[in-house]
């Protein structure tokens, strides 16, 4: 068996192409959608991510604003910046790039973003809407994975799905999105007993544990669909390595998202989608 490669770049281009007329419609009716990105300090990885987000905005015709407070900023000062953005009518989405410096209370910061401007889908109000399956911004990486599965026509209903990783950003929302599509979902993590056995039951295996090559062939049921969310730096500090052993996935899986080029391109595409959706709601309500 040789796994079918699930190309995240192909799906990203589809999503962005579909967003362009929606951006044009909002712009013609009122104003361009607006996204504010807050980047504290000079973390190199964060700077790369933010650059990609700003570039995507420019390509779509979304107004973007990058705010770069110093590394020494306090929680209260950052709360003041966010409150100012909450009040600005031309800003539809607010994204606070993580991680934040240690002196900043990340939880308070995320809670301070207005739920209707929370294009990351992290605010408890939006997480509650996800649990209840009510429309609201969804966490970008899991939402992108669902788009990937849908566009490749990979069946979910009735399938056994295993999510390895329980983060608020990927693992938990991923499990809920799969559950809403009628998969039978198991959430595993580093403390799960007999982890390879649990994973081998999966028709759809989502690896989001943040450990390079952690998922070996012992974890993979032949014919499973493997979604590798891992974005781990190589030993030389260059390149990206997934959470799944690529050779094992290619040999055993029916379909597989490579690293890089699989899940990664979808996160920014879904951020753009959430921003456009927020703008559409704001224009309609305004």
* Helix ranges, 216-263 (H): 246-252
Distances (CA, A) of 125 to 6, 113, 149: 32, 11, 26
C-alpha–C-alpha distance, residues 139 and 119, integer Å: 8
User: Cis peptide leading into 83, omega within 30 of 0?
Assistant: no
Number of other CB atoms surrounding residue 273 within 10 Å: 23
How far, rounded to the nearest angstrom, does the alpha carbon of residue 189 sit from its chain's CA centroid? 19
Q: What is the set of active-site residues?
A: 53, 97, 120
Residue 47, φ and ψ in degrees, nearest 5 = -60, -40
Interior angle at CA 111, CA 272 and CA 282, nearest 5: 45
Query: Would you say the C-alpha torsion 131, 105, 98, 236 has a positive or negative sign?
Result: negative
* Helix ranges, the chain (H): 8-29, 44-60, 75-87, 106-112, 124-131, 140-151, 171-180, 195-200, 246-252, 264-285
Check: CB of residue 244 under 8 Å from CB of residue 228: yes
């Amino acid at each position: 068996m040789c796994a079918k490669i699930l190309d995240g770049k192909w799906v990203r281009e589809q999503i962005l192409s579909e967003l362009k007329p929606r951006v044009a419609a909002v712009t013609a009716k009122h104003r361009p959608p607006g996204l504010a990105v807050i980047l504290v300090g000079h973390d190199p990885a964060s700077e790369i991510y933010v650059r990609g987000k700003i570039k995507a905005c420019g390509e779509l015709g979304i107004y973007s604003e990058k705010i770069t407070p110093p590394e020494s900023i306090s929680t209260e000062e950052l709360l003041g910046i966010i409150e100012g953005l909450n009040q600005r009518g031309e800003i539809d989405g607010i994204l606070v790039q993580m991680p934040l410096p240690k002196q900043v209370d990340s939880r308070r910061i995320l809670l301070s973003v207005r739920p209707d401007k929370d294009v990351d889908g992290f605010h408890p109000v939006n997480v509650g809407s996800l649990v209840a399956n009510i429309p609201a911004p969804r966490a970008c990486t899991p939402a992108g994975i669902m788009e990937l599965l849908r566009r490749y026509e990979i069946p979910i209903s009735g399938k056994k799905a295993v999510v390895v990783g329980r983060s608020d950003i990927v693992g938990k929302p991923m499990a809920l999105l799969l559950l809403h599509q009628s998969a039978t979902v198991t959430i595993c993590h580093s403390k799960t007993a007999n982890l390879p056995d649990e994973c081998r039951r999966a028709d759809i295996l989502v690896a989001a544990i943040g450990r390079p090559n952690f998922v070996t062939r012992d974890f993979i049921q032949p014919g499973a669909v493997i979604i590798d969310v891992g974005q781990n730096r190589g030993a030389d500090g260059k390149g990206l390595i997934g959470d799944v052993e690529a050779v094992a996935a290619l040999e055993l899986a029916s379909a597989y998202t490579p690293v890089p080029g699989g899940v990664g391109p979808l996160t920014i595409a879904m951020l753009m989608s959430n921003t456009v959706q927020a703008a559409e709601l704001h224009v309609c309500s305004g």
